[in-house]
Amino acid sequence: MPHLVRSSLWLMFFAAILFAWWMMYVMAMDMDLDLLGRPGPMGQAMADMDPRMPMDMPMARFGPLFAMWAIMMAAMMLPTLAPTLTTYERLMVSADGTRAGWVGVLLGYFIVWVGFAAVITAVQLALLFGGVINMLGIAPVWLSAILLIVVGAFQFSRVKEVCHGVCHAPMTYFLGHWKTGFIGGLRMGLRLGAFCVVCCWGFMALGFVGGVMSLAWMGLATLLMVFEKLPDIGHRVIKPTGVVLIAAGLGLAVF
């Protein structure tokens, strides 16, 4: 029975990830966007709309936009949690962990990222109604260059180093903050999620560079964040990624 419960929970976990990606694909197709987030005729017409026009535009309302970001958080961030959940499983026998605690870690982590989805939704709407970005969430060249440079520079910061240390080595975190049961797992998941948000917020902000509905950007950002959490190579990809982002920002600003 324990093996059946374990298998069922892992299957639901991966099914949720696949469902989130499928939902993002459907939304991109409905908005007439290709995999790179480039609009077709209908998508371009939407991008050119004024959000203050008296008509129903979901991307200019908090509810639908928040739902989109929440689904995007599930698609992009749940895959990065797999190493942490696997680490928790290794401690279930020796440290009195439970499957309920495993679920609590997952839930707490996702709650924090849904909270971040609400914040970035508000930021996008402020930029949209301020005339800085268009309806598809695409920033002008000057803002794109700034975002690339700022996010690249953040890769070299002490804050990134500390938060990545927690995300990259969840075993160390669990051993120092271990709590049992569902509530204990939930509390650990909330804290792990907070560290992860601070560590990875920049990759989400880069969605404004090419459009927040670019599936190619989502896939690349997810891949980078997964690599950052892998035990053997995670610490080796942070600074090279920063160099590439800064170079891209400078290149965009110059050319």
Residues written for the chain: 255
Determine the pLDDT at residue 54: 58
Instruction: Read off the pLDDT of residues 4-13 as tens digits, 9 standing for 90 and up.
Output: 888 899 999 9
Encode pLDDT of 205-251 as tens digits.
Answer: 999 997 888 888 899 999 999 888 887 787 889 999 999 999 999 99
Low-confidence ranges of the chain (pLDDT < 70): 1, 36, 43, 45-50, 52-56
Judged by DSSP in three states, 179 sits in coil
What pLDDT is attached to residue 180?
87
Q: How confident is the model at residue 50, as a pLDDT?
A: 65
Residue 226: HSE in the Cβ half-sphere, 13 Å Cα cutoff? 13
Give the pLDDT score at 32. 73
User: What's the confidence (pLDDT) of residue 12?
Assistant: 95
* pTM listed for this prediction: 0.91
What residues contact residue 12 under an 8 Å CB cut-off, 6+ apart? none
